[in-house]
Amino acid sequence: MSVALGTTRPLPVRTTPVGDPGNLLASLPATTPYAWIRNGDGLVGWGEAARVAVPPGPGRFAWARQWLATVLGDAQVDDAVRHPGSGPVAFGSFTFDENAHGSVLVVPRAVLTRRGGRAWLTTIGEAPVKTFSPITDPGRVSYGDGSLSAPEWERVVARAARRIREGELEKVVLARDLVATAERPIDVRLLLMRLARRYPECYTFSVAGLVGATPELLIRRTGQEIESLVLAGTTPRGSDPADDFARGAALFASPKDRHEHECAIASVRETLAPLCSSLTTPDEPELLVLPNVQHLASHVTGRLADGASVLDVVAAMHPTAAVGGTPTRTAIEVIRELEGMDRAGYAGPVGWIDANGDGEWGIALRSGLVQGRRARLFAGGGIMGDSDPAAELAEAQAKFRVMQYALEG
């Protein structure tokens, strides 16, 4: 654990209203950029007032909440805004597998926020000096196999589908990785700019090297109200409007994809019901159309019964059937056995939390781990008993295009 301003005194925090900052991402310096942006609104941060590596294990979310309570709860806060996301804020990324190292929480020294037509700046200690440098292009990007080649991954999909047909489980989500190498160091700010511009309806994020644009909102807590967006069932976009419409109609009518989506909704309902005094799930999904793919999507809303923080809800929900499988415990064991790689933060929770327990957390899909000139990209999909390995590979390749666009423009 590290606390940049020292562990012997509370963090001095000040939040003040500011004028419209314009493009939030344009405010970021080159080093340690943190971001959570959708449709131009959200939070960006820089510098580090406090940072901790969350120990792996089944109690990691409870450990993280206790750390946050200690660091943020003792802060000396001068908050002239008093709105969700004002005061001290922590950005976080948790690994998909609870037993994997790599989960992190960071309290930036400065956070610039725009939400609900208002904007404000939060600083901890003296306002950090931003050292701006021009955003740089990584140049030519080459790609190589990650943990498994495409044919090897297709064989893994076939093995998983056979085990589903044999009755071991209903669904498992399998992922694969791709390694990108650029001519020059990769500027995270450029990736964020491109992702936010191309995928404004997604949540564009950057936390400790994990960068992406996820369409899937795991949970949003505002007071006692919560929201979640469940995605399961995917098809690539069409080559023209007629093909696009036909693909969407086929997805909506697909027994395989509808069953996959029903599994995901049932998992969320089962998890959230004990935490909520009321919970609403739709009878049928809708189509969420993104620039590269179409998803079956369902909005879930509810009201918390006991004042749980957003991180408590994250702990209860992760991993969902949409990124693990059904039954989830069995699916996780199959993933560990067959997938052949460490997912790191891919498909894990990523987002932010304030001192009042409000916040937004997504599932880190359409993402990559960036370090220097290299980026490890991730994609995956839900495998059912009748899944075709070639089709699943094509779906994963379509999802890779999000981060490939971010790298290449």
Question: Can you spell out the DSSP letters for 202-237?
Answer: SEEEEETTEEEEES-EEEEEETTEEEEEEEEEEEEP
- In the predicted model, what is the mean pLDDT of the chain? 92
Residues 350 and 160: their CA atoms lie apart, in Å, by: 27
pLDDT digits (tens, 9 = 90+) for 179-197: 999 999 999 999 999 999 9
Q: Is the peptide bond before 108 cis (omega within 30 degrees of 0)?
A: no
Structural element, H or E, at residue 326: strand 325-326
Three-state secondary structure call for residue 94? coil
pLDDT digits (tens, 9 = 90+) for 214-231: 988 999 999 999 999 988
Are 277 and 313 within 8 A, CB to CB? Answer: no
Q: Report the pLDDT averaged over residues 318-336.
A: 92
Q: Report the pLDDT averaged over residues 38-62.
A: 95
Are 120 and 18 within 8 A, CB to CB? Answer: yes
pLDDT of residue 126: 77
User: What is the reported pTM?
Assistant: 0.91
Count the Cβ atoms, other than its own, within 10 Å of residue 8: 6
Residue 3 scores a pLDDT above 80: no
Give me the phi and psi of 337, to 5 degrees please: -80, -40
Are 230 and 297 within 8 A, CB to CB? Answer: yes
Are 90 and 111 within 8 A, CB to CB? Answer: no
User: Any idea what the Cα angle at residue 280 is, between residues 298 and 313, rounded to 5°?
Assistant: 85
From residue 119, give the alpha-carbon distance in Å to each of 15, 40, 80, 307. 10, 12, 12, 27
Are 107 and 77 within 8 A, CB to CB? Answer: no
Q: Report the pLDDT averaged over residues 202-213.
A: 96
What is the total residue count of the chain? 409
**Six-digit token pair at 17?**
């209203």
pLDDT of residue 127: 67
Residue from 98, 154, 216, 360 carrying the catalytic annotation: 216
Residue 50 scores a pLDDT above 60: yes
- For the question of residue 262 being annotated catalytic, the response is no
6 confidence band (pLDDT: 50, 70, 90)? very low
Its CATH class, for the domain covering 2-408, is alpha beta
Please list, in sequence order, all residues whose beta carbon lies within 8 angstroms of the beta carbon of residue 101, skipping any fewer than 6 positions away. 53, 56, 95
Residues 295 and 203: their CA atoms lie apart, in Å, by: 15
Residues 276 and 349: their CA atoms lie apart, in Å, by: 20
- For the question of residue 399 being annotated catalytic, the response is no
Domains in the chain: boundaries: 2-408
Q: Report the pLDDT averaged over residues 141-154.
A: 96
Residue 5 scores a pLDDT above 70: no
Residue 13 scores a pLDDT above 50: yes
pLDDT of residue 39: 95
Residue 4 scores a pLDDT above 60: no
Residue 363 scores a pLDDT above 60: yes
Residue from 48, 98, 154, 171 carrying the catalytic annotation: 171
From residue 140, give the alpha-carbon distance in Å to each of 143, 181, 186. 10, 8, 11
Residues 82 and 60: their CA atoms lie apart, in Å, by: 29
Residue 176 scores a pLDDT above 70: yes
pLDDT digits (tens, 9 = 90+) for 250-259: 999 999 889 8
Q: How large is the C-alpha radius of gyration of the chain?
A: 21
pLDDT digits (tens, 9 = 90+) for 331-350: 999 999 999 999 999 999 99
pLDDT of residue 2: 52
Short-list 276, 228, 227, 234, CA closest to 254:
234
Residue 386 scores a pLDDT above 80: yes
From residue 378, give the alpha-carbon distance in Å to each of 25, 145, 401. 23, 11, 10
Q: Report the pLDDT averaged over residues 59-80.
A: 93
Q: 375 has which bridge partners?
A: 180, 370
pLDDT digits (tens, 9 = 90+) for 258-299: 988 888 888 888 889 999 999 999 989 999 988 888 999 999
pLDDT of residue 216: 87
Share of the chain above pLDDT 70, in %: 97
